[in-house]
Amino acid sequence: MYDVIIAGCGPTGALLAAELRLHDVRVLVLDQQTEPTSFVRIVGLHIRSLELMAMRGLLERLLEHGRQRPAAGFFAAIDKPVPTGLDSPYAYLLGIPQPVIVQVLEDHAKDLGAQVRRGAAVSGLEPDEQGVTVELAGGERLRARYLVGCDGARSTVRKLLGVGFPGEPARNDTLMGEMELSAAPEEIGAKVRADRRLDIRPFGERLYRVVVPAAGVSDRAEPPTIEEFRERLRAVAGTDFGVHSPRWTSRFGDATRLVERYRVGPVLLAGDAAHIHPPIGGQGLNLGIQDAFNLGWKLAAQIRGWAPAALLDTYQTERHPVAAAVLDNTRAQTQLLSAEPGAQAVRRLLTELMDFNEVNRYLIEKIAAVDIRYDFGPGPDLLGRRLPDLDVQSGRLYSRLHRGRGLLLDRTERLSTGAWSDRVDLLGDATAALDAPAVLVRPDGHVAWVGDEQRDLDEHLPRWFGAAGD
């Protein structure tokens, strides 16, 4: 019997497996594909995801394969400079092939002891009071204490679970792909500026990511042909820009949906299995990675036996509102990309407002997920927010979070983790660049307590890290 079975070995599933293995949880990852996806699709890791990778010591590996781009122009493709005041040493976008992300995270999970089985499709599930039975397409039955569906937008786990998936169905399709263009960059730039329905961005010499509206709604399981791209580009821009040699192509719709529940008994959902939305702003993969970071340590705590009674339920209460906010900002961005006169008038107004640095930064922080503040009750503004990668005596703060444990950062140098030292590390550092006497940091980097009194700290530790150990 496994502690956790994860359906889907994409970025969300692979990262969740690694997070669980940091706490010696027995994990099996199932993926219906016999081989990892081979096509090279470039995706972007936003600021918060880069911070999370740094917390686990993975960022350097990813930087070797990626290209850093300015942290600007995300919101509805409105071209503005990088705002000042982004509070992170990782204030950039990392463009990186998605297969590289999956491989790095899968290797990380395997190095920590996770098992991965490919060519294993989930076909049934039977939850009960002791756990869940998972049936595979070939008839094999497996047992686990928990099952997590990280199996994408068409999630089998979600469908078998029968949870509601309300939202708006797709009304329009869009073609996306990476291909070479023979047209001059000046011509491409002029056409893109003239028609916001187009998004054509370079990824190297003659290689571009091309996004153009489709003629209607089609079967998204069938990737568009290069001839379909040519036809749509000629219809929208009056030229096909000489597109040729596609690396990959796909079509996506503007369906926007969010599950009603992230958990039903021993079965949970994460990533695209829990929420879908148009890829405007490049938030989907990042949202799934952040789901995994939020869930991993909580599920591990439940399995290891020290989780407070309501800890696992906070996965729903914290991540559901975050996903709802992402869906709303993609809805807004979709409207701003419309060619309708009213939408274009709003876009022009917002473009003017983004000349104010505070507005520009607000929208970039929203897309990059550094504005999130979980509701931990009344307290200082820092409470519930993520703690940036501060300078500390030993180097940088995130290097102390590689093991996926909690951390007490104490500038007073007189506090103690006491009977929670098996779950929470202590860093006493009077020189830390922290505007607070001390903070308790969860394994996902969010501040769970701010103060300077040991008695107050001892009252808050059980909320996140359970009863005192021996």
Structure tokens at 246: 């596609």
Q: Assess contact for 369 and 49: CB atoms under 8 A.
A: yes
Residue 191 has what pLDDT?
A: 87
Question: How do the domains of the chain map onto residue ranges?
Answer: 2-167+257-368, 173-253, 391-465
* Residue pLDDT, tens place only, 277-326: 988 889 999 999 999 999 999 999 999 999 999 999 999 999 999 999 99
Q: Is the dihedral of CA 168, 173, 179, 182 positive or negative?
A: negative
Q: How far is CA 224 from the centre of its chain?
A: 27
**Please, which contacts does 185-193 make with residues 24 or more away whose CB atoms are closer than 8 Å?**
187/239, 187/241, 188/241, 191/237, 191/238, 191/239, 191/241
Q: Tell me how far apart the 2 most distant CA atoms of the chain are, in Å.
A: 73
In three-state secondary structure terms, 402 is: coil
Cβ neighbours for 117, distance < 8 A, ≥ 6 positions apart: 28, 29, 30, 31
Distances (CA, A) of 195 to 80, 235, 269, 331, 350: 17, 12, 38, 19, 17
Amino acid symbol at 68: Q
- Contact present, 440 and 462 (Cβ < 8 Å): no
How far CA 227 is from CA of 175, 195, 223, 245, 452, in Å, comes to 12, 21, 12, 11, 65
Per-residue confidence (pLDDT) for residue 415, from 0 to 100? 98
Amino acid at 366: K
Taken in order 57, 61, 62, 67, the sign of the CA dihedral is positive
- Fold classification of 391-465 (topology level): Glutaredoxin (3.40.30)
* Identity of the residue numbered 468: A
CATH of 173-253, one of 3.40.1280.10, 3.40.50.1370, 3.90.1150.10, 3.30.70.2450: 3.30.70.2450
CA dist., res. 228 & res. 243, Å (int): 11
Residue with tokens 């990186």: 96
Task: State the Cα–Cα distance between residues 253 and 174, nearest whole angstrom.
Answer: 6
pLDDT of 43: 87
The whole-angstrom distance between residue 376's C-alpha and the CA centroid of its chain comes to 21
Strands of 330-419 (E only): list them.
391-392, 395-396, 406-410
Q: Are 62 and 56 in contact (CB under 8 A)?
A: no
User: Would you state the pLDDT for residue 90?
Assistant: 98
User: Which ranges of the chain have pLDDT less than 50?
Assistant: none
pLDDT tens for residues 386-410? 999 999 998 999 999 999 999 999 9
Give the three-class secondary structure for 396: strand
Helices (H), 195-313: 226-237, 284-304
pLDDT on residue 135 = 98
Helix ranges (H only) for 38-184 are 47-55, 59-63, 98-111, 156-161
Q: Are the CB atoms for 52 and 370 separated by under 8 Å?
A: no
Amino acid (1-letter code) at residue 60:
E
27 backbone dihedrals φ, ψ, rounded to 5°: -125, 135
Q: What is the CATH number of domain 2-167+257-368?
A: 3.50.50.60
Rounded distance between C-alpha atoms, residue 384 and residue 390, angstroms: 17
